[in-house]
Amino acid sequence: DQQVKQNSPSLSVQEGRISILNCDYTNSMFDYFLWYKKYPAEGPTFLISISSIKDKNEDGRFTVFLNKSAKHLSLHIVPSQPGDSAVYFCAASVYGGGADGLTFGKGTHLIIQP
Amino acid sequence: DTGVSQNPRHKITKRGQNVTFRCDPISEHNRLYWYRQTLGQGPEFLTYFQNEAQLEKSRLLSDRFSAERPKGSFSTLEIQRTEQGDSAMYLCASSLEQGRANVLTFGAGSRLTVL
């Protein structure tokens, strides 16, 4: 039972255009959401997060949108740059629920074309 | 502080052997996590420590797996009688409890190959 779903295994975007990565979740108890970026042979690195009390959080070129009613979040990267090519993981957590650890999706491999 | 450090980075072993991985978290972080990642999957939670106490273990963590964090600093993950299905990347992460936000900082991982 996958509680966090990233249905696009890969996404190809032209440099300078907008990249939109999508994530759906099923557990209504999730109240904190994060995006991680992973390069080959490295661990995931934190990119941006959003609390369930917000619907948008922005940090430079990265914006995360949360639609709680649809149990959907998305990561927008604009403009996309070659260094953004990586695997992006969506993750969610339940505050105070057990380990407070993160539940990850399977990831989306973003490829930025020059 | 150089972040979360994991050793060894890669371990190749024969089926049936025991292996141990070490994780040195960010020094001021009180929480430490172990995750496992296999090809095409996201990281899967294995276990969690708050200081030296192991507070939760996933059902993925069979009896052959044991984790310790003896003084609330570094942690070890031991796998006994390894099986080919144990081949994976083992990721350690740490965090500092800060209210609702639980941002984990990951190490580069220890890749296990069981022949």
Inspect the interface and report whether the beta carbons of B43 and A102 lie closer than 8 Å: yes
The CA-CA-CA angle for residues A28, A30, A33, to 5°, reads: 135
Q: Which residue from A2, A1, A6, A3 is spatially nearest to A90, judged by alpha carbons?
A: A6
- Calpha distance B16→B20 (Å, rounded): 13
- Residues 83-112 of chain B whose Cβ lies under 8 A from any Cβ of chain A: 91, 93, 100-109
Query: Taking a C-beta distance cutoff of 8 angstroms, is the pair B30, B97 a contact?
Result: yes
- Is pLDDT at B105 greater than 80 in this prediction? yes
Q: Which residues of B touch A88 (CB under 8 A)?
A: none
For chain A, helix, strand, coil in percent to 5 are: 5, 55, 45
Over residues B15-64, the pLDDT tens digits come to 999 999 999 999 988 899 999 999 989 999 999 898 899 988 888 888 99
Rounded CA-CA distance B56/B16 in Å is: 26
**Chain A within 8 Å of B33 (Cβ-Cβ)?**
yes
Return the SS3 of B84.
Answer: helix
Question: Is A28 an interface residue toward B (CB < 8 Å)?
Answer: no
pLDDT of residue A99: 58
User: Could you give the CA distance from residue B19 to residue B92 in angstroms, rounded to a whole number?
Assistant: 16
Which one of A104, A108, A109 would you mutate to disrupt binding with B, by most B Cβ within 10 Å of its Cβ? A104
Residue reference for tokens 């995360």: A64
Model pLDDT for residues B1-10, shown as the tens digit of each residue: 579 999 999 9
Q: Flag whether pLDDT at B14 surpasses 90.
A: yes
A69-105 per-position pLDDT tens digit: 999 999 999 999 999 999 999 999 887 555 557 899 9
Rounded Cα distance between A8 and B92, Å, is 26
* Interchain proximity A102–B109, CB inside 8 Å: no
